[in-house]
A = this chain, B = another copy of it.
């Protein structure tokens, strides 16, 4: 008899975005005329840049001719793309990487979800709270989290690092030992960043405890302020203890095109029960060559064009567009008397609900009164309760109108 992986049964039934969709559909059924503006899910709306489109056409063309056709590529990605990534994203920041430390994939969601496979099931993991749900759910499925406590909205074995108004949305070091630490900065959902000194504390902690930092930098392209680190590897010693996830999704509009990359330095080690060290880089290579078959060739050609002169200029225009939306939301909400976080170095604005209103209650009120959709903070963890996330990925017109409605109808 085929037995189920019982860890899957620990997951609570309804996924955040399905519940949101359910409520929207219900509202639309009774209010078919409502002009709903969605600033909820973190999906981009601007088209791919012309330089990327042109390159992708070229890649497609090559696939149609016997002389230039490409079959299986390297599972870890083509060097023409890896070299551009290193040259543009890392070398200028003083980070040295070799080509076999960069792994191209179909998405940071896949990579952040799959990477935990390399670790023993008894490792203790830490996440910020609120947190991007994929880190938690993928570890639940692997059996690393203990049972779900539905009163607390937390799993028994996970160490949660609260990010609250009191600590300025910056997690403190854990009080008990942890082995795997997920950090995402610029943060989804709070939109906040950490300084070099703050990140340095985490690198030091990981070095002292031989823990691993799983650093999600999917939003680094949105950093506007000088001095905010774009990569964990800008911190001394991080090469020994950190892995970094990056993506073209938000930076270059690839949410529907699918390309990302993960940096696994050869210095990072994990240990067996006898204390013998193993290279995380070699383990990830083995995982990817066994369970993945590489990213579509035309997509990799398209991604490489992001680093051309026109590509860089074009993605910066798009990011400026979104960040102007972020400014409009942030300043609009502040003018309306709300307390807000983020929106300066990230496309997310994390707002406090008024009068300690519950996240879902605020969701319903915003939908009903203003016909604006956002994401209830409670969906990101227990400490997200009482908060609400808006994203800067809408059109300018919708963003302006949403803020106008929040000011006048709430």
Contacts and interface: CB of A to CB of B under 8 A. Distances in A.
A117 B5 contact: yes
Contacts of A289: 15
Contacts of A299: 296, 299
A272 B53 CA distance: 49
Interface in A192-207: none
Interface string A109-121: 1100110011111
Interface string A242-265: 000000000001011110000000
A48 B71 CA distance: 10
A278 interface: yes
Given A63-B53, A70-B256, A118 B271 contact: no
A60 B56 contact: yes
A66 interface: yes
B292 A4 contact: no
B53 A66 contact: no
Contacts of A255: 71-72, 293
B118 A257 contact: no
A239 B122 CA distance: 37
Contact of A117 (B44, B141, B270, B292): B141
Contacts of A120: 3-6
A110 B291 contact: yes
A110 B117 CA distance: 14
A382 B366 CA distance: 64
A137 B72 CA distance: 19
Nearest to A65: B47
Interface in A41-94: 41, 43-48, 50, 53, 56-57, 60-61, 63-66, 69-73
A283 interface: yes
Contacts of A11: 286
Nearest to A138: B291
A272 B3 contact: yes
A294 interface: yes
A257 B298 contact: yes
Nearest to A60: B56
A95 to B, nearest CB: 22
Contacts of A47: 63-66, 69
Given A46-B69, A47-B69, A290-B141, A121 B64 contact: no
Interface string A268-297: 001111000010000100110111111111
Interface stretch (A152-160, A165-173, A208-216, A344-352): A208-216
Interface residues of A, number: 79
Contacts of A293: 106-107, 109-110, 255, 258
A1 B257 contact: no
A141 to B, nearest CB: 7
Interface string A289-333: 111111111110000000000000000000000000000000000
A376 to B, nearest CB: 19
A5 B119 contact: yes
Contact of A4 (B63, B118, B141): B118
Contact of A118 (B5, B44, B278, B292): B5
Interface string A383-408: 00000000000000000000000000
A39 to B, nearest CB: 14
A3 B144 CA distance: 12
Interface string A176-204: 00011000000000000000000000000
A300 to B, nearest CB: 10
Contacts of A9: 272, 278
A123 interface: yes
A257 to B, nearest CB: 5
